[in-house]
Structure formats: C-alpha cells, structure tokens
C-alpha cells in the first residue's frame, strides 16, 4: 500500500485498547506517535506505586487515580490534537457488548489475565472485529493476530493448567528449591495458620504409600500453656527432624537418591539463642510498617542468602509474631506474597528444608519471587511488544492479512534473531469457541448434580460467567443477578438435583446447549453416562472431550508465499534448554503449549498433584520430567537439517 493510503488508513481507524498497564502505556504512546487519531482505552484499575517503574505515563502524584484516564491525559499533553476516550471499567461489564465492539476496526489487548482475554476473544468473534493479542513475561513476549475465518482464535489451543507437582516430590523427595517453597507455603504454612480442618499431608511417606506416619496427638495443636518459643521448637523438631528420620527409615526410597539430613533445633542454635528468640520485643516493623521478624534479628538485606542458623531464628521469630501479634488471623490465613511475615516464614522454612535435602539455599527476595510466582517485568520487552502490536494493527487496517504474523520475542537469539515472526495458524476445527463442533462430556448422570456441572464445566472449563443451559427447548438453568426472585429460587432448586432428576432429565445421549449472552457464545455438549471415574486422575468425576489440540498445528494461512522466518519457539524452553531440534517439514512444527502460557502474564499458581501411583511418583526420574516438559522442538523448512542444533 502506498504510504499516503497507509496514513489515511491509520487516521481513519477507530481502535480499542484493553489494558493500560505495562504494555498498555507503551501501546498508547506508540499508537499516538504513529498517527492514530481515535483511541478508546478500557482499564479497571487505579495506579499503584509498584506500577511507576515501568508504566511511564504515570507519576507518584497519580497513585490512586484511574489508569485509563491518567494515560489519556499524559498522552494528550504531547499529542493534544487526537481523540482518546478512557473507560475506568471492567471490560466484562455489560456496556461493552457486541455493539460496542463493532464500532472498532481492531481491538488491541494489553491484559494480564486469561479470564479477560477469553472474554475479549469471544466478543471479537461475535462482533467480527480483528484482535491483536499480546503478553510479556520478563524478557519473553508475543503478539498474535486473530481474525475470524482467517486464523485461529485466542482459544483454539486449550490453555495449560497450572504447574503441578506430585505430592510425593513435595512431601518426601524434594530436589529443587521450588519444591521446598511449595511444601513451606502449601503444606506447612497452610497447616499452621490456615483452616485446621483441611486435608493436609504433612506426614512423611515411607515409600509404599501404606505407612504414612500420623501421630495420634495433633502435633500442630498448641497447648493452652505452651509458650510460643516452646511451640516453635516442637514444630521445628517435628517437621525438620523427626519426619526426616522417619522417612530415612525406608531404604528403598534413598537407594538412588541423596539421603536427607534430619535437623533438630538444638543442633543448629545454642539454647541461649533459642530462648532469646522468644524475647525479641524490640523492633518488629519494617520501614513501611509491616510486621516483620527481620529487624530484631539484624537481618536487613533481603537479597542476602542467610545461613541455616539465621533461617532457623527467622522461622522461630516469625512463628512467634504470628502467634502473639496476629493470633486472631490464625485458622483463616491463606498465603499472600505481599504479606511480609508470611514471606519470611515461608523463606525460612523452605531454606531449612532445602538444607536438609542438600538443595542450595535462597535469599528472601528470590524465595518471594518463587513463592509468588513473580517474574519481574521488563519495560523494554513491553515497548517492543507494543511496537509489534501497532505493526500488526496497521496490516489489519490495510487488509494486508497475508502479511500478518505472530511474533515471539525471545530472551536469547535463535537463528540470530530475537524476534521470531510466524504465519498465524488456522482455526482449530474442534474449538468450541470459534467453531460449531459440539463437545462431549462423560459424567455419571445419576450422581452428579447440576451444580457440579455448572461450577466444574460451564464456569471453570468453558469460562462462562452468566450461562444459560438448555436441554432441548427446556431452560434448566440461567445465571445472572437480575433474575426474578421466584425464577432464581427455581433454578437454585435445580442446582442440587442430579442430572437425571432435572425437569428435563439429562441422560446418556442428551445434548445440552449452553449460552452466555454477554459473551455471545453458544456451544453444545453431548452427554455420555459413565459409571466409574478414577478419583485421583479425574477428581471432577467429569471429563470434557472434543476440544483438542489439532494434530497438524502449523498450517499457516496460505498466502502463496513461503515464510523465510524462523518457526515459533517456546521462548522459555529455548531459554532453558538452549537446544533446538531441527527437522524436515515446516508443516510438522510442534508448538508447545508452554510457549503461550509462559508469556501471558497470567497469574499462575503451583498445585500439588495427588500421587496416582506412589511407586511411579517416587521414581528418581520424575523430578527431571518437569524440565523435559519444557523441551522445545522446532522444525525447520530445510529438509537437510534434520538434526539437533545448539543455539548460539
Ligand atoms: N477485566 C479487565 N478489564 C479491564 N482492565 C483489565 C481487566 N483485567 C486486567 N485489566 C488491566 O490490564 C492491565 C494489565 O497490565 P499489567 O500486566 O502491567 O498489570 P499491572 O496490574 O499494571 O501490573 P502488576 O500486575 O505487575 O502489578 C492492568 O492495568 C489491569 O487493570
Ligand atoms: Zn477457536
């Protein structure tokens, strides 16, 4: 297109940006400087101090104000002639419906969560407006283009579930610091400060799964006359000493593994220091006034790696402060990465455990990053990604679809490139969002209730907020806050009925239609009755099938032109393995799911997976498997080069 026409297309365009955070600030500036004249911005947040280091349109004085509005004002100061319309709102609000989306030529996402991304994807499909989607994680980033009828939609590839670890690795055979963090946070912290009644496997397995040691007295219960320092010592000796001794009794487990070392408090700290820990009344506050065990112990530098003795003192002191200063929270606490005392406790506990298992200790700063799953944002990555979004948006506006690319921003050069453009993929024919293909649900229709179905499948798996469920012509459920009282009560009754007992019984062979009017999404689910489920592998007792990753994943949009560009790489994987397997055909490119998940900026959580097979999960290989999962296979166009190649 000639440059005058291009300028015209940009000038005439009406674009919507969703998110005015790290990517959004860069994007708004780049759009304005590229000549865009009519920009709408939705962001539901207000500015926080922690945003200021990279969201450069914001200043200290803006803290607490709407991001969308302040971003508009900041850009208008240097581009006063353009029109920027801010909305301080959630993009999921009903006012942002299909008609609202239809007024735009292209939608540009700068979001940080899956839920909002899915919602925008669905509305873009319904409104038939192209979407340019983006995400960054540290040095990694990506921009993808989604055009109905031409490319895959944002949801064509099922999104990965959170990272999980087998119970056995966490409770008995940790080999990485992250395993110790998960143990400290999800088991020990939860046991001591969370809901007392929760199922929590803090007892050591001795190998065959049958002989877990469960003392008859609840060791975690604090006696009425038990002072905190005594209680702390009891917990310490139990979890770091006694439990490890019990685990060591099973020789089988340690045949091919390094044996852990039981640690008792008396071996680490002299009595005097242990007692002194209970009397540190001096300073318990950090500079920003949060309760902390560090100042009184003289631990000032959170980037320093503390010794086992220092971590042990921190453990005792943090536990004491919880008991004495935050006693009323105990029993209802959940781990929060912004809770200073919780971070200190978890860091100390993870380090003591790491020491026992011969795993290198970490600083509180690093432990916080791992526990909170924090990847520090890099402003430059956001700026690069914002630039790429604008480049793709311009191609879309020019209707130059053939040249649209998905681009991955890598941490290390691959084939001498840091930016890897790839042709967009075709839509997944079994995607329930952008195709009509029905899904299949295996469920025990005689024992599962409608509530199970709504919560586990409709809301959790399909991501619908206000679903409407129909069996044939009968409406069996409708979600929403604006229902008449008697209608809502009727649906509430249905929720507790098993599927076969609903007014229009749902049995094997039934087809349900599920709609979310707000998302303009409708899909069908065929029901297949199944009696038995594997409690551990299929804890939902329902299995949703049909929405699968297509076998051939790289059928790029045919444009009659070969891309000389490199093939998409899983950035995280490249980063880790630095190894690329090069093989024959471009059409066989394997795109790992991790490539998407690693750069969406979604808050991921760690989960502990139930042991499906105690023996298997005790296999020494198992730990390494975590890493293999991220291995990357990138296939090249060059048929000759079917061998492994190391990246430079
Ligand atoms: N449903 C939504 N509606 C509108 N805006 C949203 C929605 N979900 C997320 N956002 C916005 O997307 C932006 C994402 O920006 P970013 O990833 O930089 O996150 P942040 O909250 O600014 O920073 P951090 O999470 O690192 O503290 C945020 O400003 C957030 O308010
Ligand atoms: Zn799709």
The owner of tokens 């001591």 is 192
Helix (H) or strand (E) holding 167: helix 167-171
Nearest CA to ligand 1 atom 21: 21
pLDDT band at 579 (very low <50, low <70, confident <90, very high): very low
**Helix spans in 474-517 (H):** 485-495
Quote the pLDDT of residue 217. Answer: 57
pLDDT for residue 201? 59
Q: Residue 49 has what pLDDT?
A: 86
CA-to-CA distance for 60 and 106, rounded, in angstroms?
A: 32
The owner of tokens 């966490």 is 170
pLDDT above 50: residue 583: no
Cβ count near 299 (within 10 Å): 20
Q: Which of 127, 132, 85, 92 is nearest to 108 (CA)?
A: 132
DSSP 188: I
**Is 19 annotated in some ligand binding site?**
yes
Q: Enumerate the active-site residues.
A: 168
Q: Give ligand 1 pocket residues (Cβ under 6 A).
A: 19-22, 24, 42-45, 50-51, 67, 90-92, 111-113, 116, 377, 601
Closest CA to ligand 1's atom 22: 21
Q: Which residue, judged by its Cα, is nearest atom 11 of ligand 1?
A: 19
Instruction: Give the residue, 146 or 551, on which the prediction is more confident.
Output: 146
How many whole angstroms separate alpha carbon 585 and alpha carbon 567? 11
Is 52 annotated for ligand binding? yes
Report the atom number in ligand 1 closest to the C-alpha of 92: 1
pLDDT in tens, 318-341: 999 999 899 899 999 999 888 999
Ligand nearest to the CA of 154: 2
Ligand nearest to the CA of 550: 2
Residue 160, helix vs strand vs coil: coil
Q: Distance between CA 648 and CA 131 in Å, rounded?
A: 34
ipTM: 0.98
Closest CA to 42 of 58, 63, 21: 21
Domains of the chain and any CATH numbers: 3-154+377-422 (3.40.50.720), 177-358 (1.10.10.520), 439-545 (3.10.290.20), 571-646 (no CATH)
Higher pLDDT, 556 or 631: 556
Q: Which pTM does this prediction carry?
A: 0.72
Ligand nearest to the CA of 148: 2
Give the Å distance between the CA of 427 and the centre of ligand 2: 6
DSSP readout, 115-158? HHHHHHHHHHHHHT--EEEEEEETTEEEEEEE-TTTS--TTSSP
122 or 642, higher pLDDT? 122
* Residue 479: HSE in the Cβ half-sphere, 13 Å Cα cutoff: 18
Rounded-to-integer distance, Cα 571 and Cα 386, Å: 18
Tell me the pLDDT band of 275, cut-offs 50, 70 and 90: confident
**Percent share of the chain, pLDDT over 70:** 78
Closest C-alpha to ligand 1, atom 3 = 90
Work out the angle at residue 219's Cα, subtended by the Cα atoms of residues 213 and 221, and round it to the nearest 5 degrees.
145
Q: Has residue 428 got a pLDDT over 50?
A: yes
> Which of 16, 19, 58 has most ligand 1 atoms within 8 Å of its beta carbon, as the pocket-test mutant?
19
CA distances from 25 to 109, 110, 199, 334, 492 (A): 12, 9, 44, 33, 44
Q: What is the pLDDT of residues 42-78, one digit of tens each?
A: 999 999 888 999 999 999 999 999 999 999 999 999 9
**Lowest-confidence region among 48-62, 114-128, 242-256, 568-582:** 568-582
Q: Give the count of alpha carbons within 13 A of 186, CB side only.
A: 22
Could you tell me the distance, in angstroms and rounded to a whole number, from the CA of residue 627 to the centre of ligand 1?
A: 30
Q: Enter the tokens of residue 501.
A: 């007992």
**Tokens at residue 238, please?**
């139990």
Q: From 43, 49, 72, 141, give the residue whose CB has the most ligand 1 atoms within 8 Å, as the site to mutate.
A: 43
SS3 labels along 388-414: HHHHHHHHHHCCCHHHCCEEEEEEEEE
CA distance 19 to 131: 14
Strands 542-545 and 511-516: unpaired
Query: Going by C-beta distance under 8 Å and a sequence separation of 6 or more, which residues neighbour residue 488?
Result: none
Distance in angstroms (rounded) separating the CA atoms of residues 468 and 367:
44
Ligand 2: centre distance to CA 149 (Å): 10
Average pLDDT, the chain: 81
Q: Are 410 and 418 in contact (CB under 8 A)?
A: yes
Q: Are 418 and 140 in contact (CB under 8 A)?
A: no
Q: Which of 367, 357, 239 is nearest to 305 (CA)?
A: 367
The C-alpha atoms of residue 151 and residue 405 are separated, in whole angstroms, by: 10
Per-residue tokens: 436? 């009509």
Greater confidence (17 vs 167) lies with: 17
112 known ligand binder: yes
Residue 90 assigned as binding residue? no
């Amino acid at each position: 297109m000639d440059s005058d026409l291009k300028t015209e297309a940009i000038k005439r365009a009406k674009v919507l940006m969703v998110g005015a955070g790290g990517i959004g600030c860069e994007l708004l500036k780049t759009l304005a400087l590229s000549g865009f004249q009519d920009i709408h911005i939705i962001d539901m947040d207000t500015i926080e101090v922690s945003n200021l280091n990279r969201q450069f349109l914001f200043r200290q004085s803006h803290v607490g104000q709407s991001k969308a509005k302040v971003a508009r004002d900041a850009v208008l100061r240097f581009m006063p002639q353009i029109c920027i319309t801010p909305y301080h709102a959630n993009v999921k609000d009903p006012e942002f419906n299909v008609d609202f989306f239809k007024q735009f030529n292209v939608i540009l996402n700068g979001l940080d969560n899956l839920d909002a991304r899915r919602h925008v994807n669905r509305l873009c499909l319904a409104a038939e407006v192209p979407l340019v989607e983006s995400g960054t994680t540290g040095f990694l980033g990506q921009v993808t283009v989604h055009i109905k009828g031409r490319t895959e939609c944002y949801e064509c590839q099922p999104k990965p579930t959170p990272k999980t670890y087998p119970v056995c690795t966490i409770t008995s055979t940790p080999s990485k610091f992250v395993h110790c963090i998960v143990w400290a946070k999800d088991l020990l912290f939860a046991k001591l400060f969370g809901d007392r009644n929760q199922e929590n496997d803090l007892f050591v397995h001795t190998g065959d799964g049958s002989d877990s040691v469960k003392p008859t007295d609840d060791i975690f219960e604090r006696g009425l006359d038990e002072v905190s320092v005594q209680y702390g010592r009891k917990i310490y000796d139990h979890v770091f000493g006694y439990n490890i001794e019990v685990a060591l009794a099973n020789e089988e487990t340690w045949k091919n593994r390094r044996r852990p070392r039981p640690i008792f408090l008396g071996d680490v700290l002299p009595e005097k220091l242990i007692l002194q820990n209970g009397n540190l009344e001096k300073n318990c506050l950090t500079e920003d006034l949060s309760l902390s065990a560090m100042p009184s112990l003289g631990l000032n530098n959170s980037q320093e790696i503390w010794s086992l003795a220092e971590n042990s003192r921190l453990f005792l002191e943090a536990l004491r402060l919880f008991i004495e200063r935050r006693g009323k929270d105990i029993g209802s606490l959940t781990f929060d990465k912004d809770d200073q005392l919780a971070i200190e406790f978890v860091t100390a506990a993870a380090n003591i455990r790491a020491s026992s298992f011969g795993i290198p200790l970490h600083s509180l700063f690093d432990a916080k990053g791992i526990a909170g799953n924090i990847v520090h944002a890099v402003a430059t990555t956001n700026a690069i990604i914002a630039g790429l979004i604008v480049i793709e948006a311009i191609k879309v506006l020019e209707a130059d679809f053939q040249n649209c690319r998905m681009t991955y921003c890598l941490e290390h050069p691959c084939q001498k490139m840091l930016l890897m453009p790839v042709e967009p993929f075709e839509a997944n024919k079994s995607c329930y969002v952008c195709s009509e293909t029905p899904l299949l649900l295996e469920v025990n229709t005689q024992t599962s209730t409608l509530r199970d179905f709504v919560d586990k499948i409709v809301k959790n798996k399909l991501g619908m907020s206000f679903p409407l469920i129909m069996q044939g012509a009968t409406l069996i459920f409708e979600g929403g806050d604006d229902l008449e009282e008697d209608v809502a009560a009727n649906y509430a009754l249905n929720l507790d009925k098993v599927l076969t007992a609903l007014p229009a019984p749902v049995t094997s062979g039934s087809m349900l239609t599920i709609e979310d009017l707000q998302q303009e999404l409708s899909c069908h689910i065929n029901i297949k009755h199944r009696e038995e489920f594997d409690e551990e592998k299929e804890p939902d007792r329902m299995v949703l099938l049909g929405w699968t990753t297509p076998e051939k994943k790289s059928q790029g949009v045919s444009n009659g032109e070969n891309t000389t560009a490199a093939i998409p790489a899983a950035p995280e994987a490249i980063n880790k393995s630095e190894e690329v397997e090069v093989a024959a055909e471009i059409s066989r490119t394997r795109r790992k799911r991790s490539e998407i998940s690693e750069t969406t900026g979604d808050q991921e959580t760690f989960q502990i997976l139930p042991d499906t097979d105690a023996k298997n999960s005790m296999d020494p290989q198992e730990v390494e498997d975590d890493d293999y999962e991220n291995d990357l296979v990138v296939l090249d166009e060059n048929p000759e080069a079917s061998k492994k190649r190391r990246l430079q």
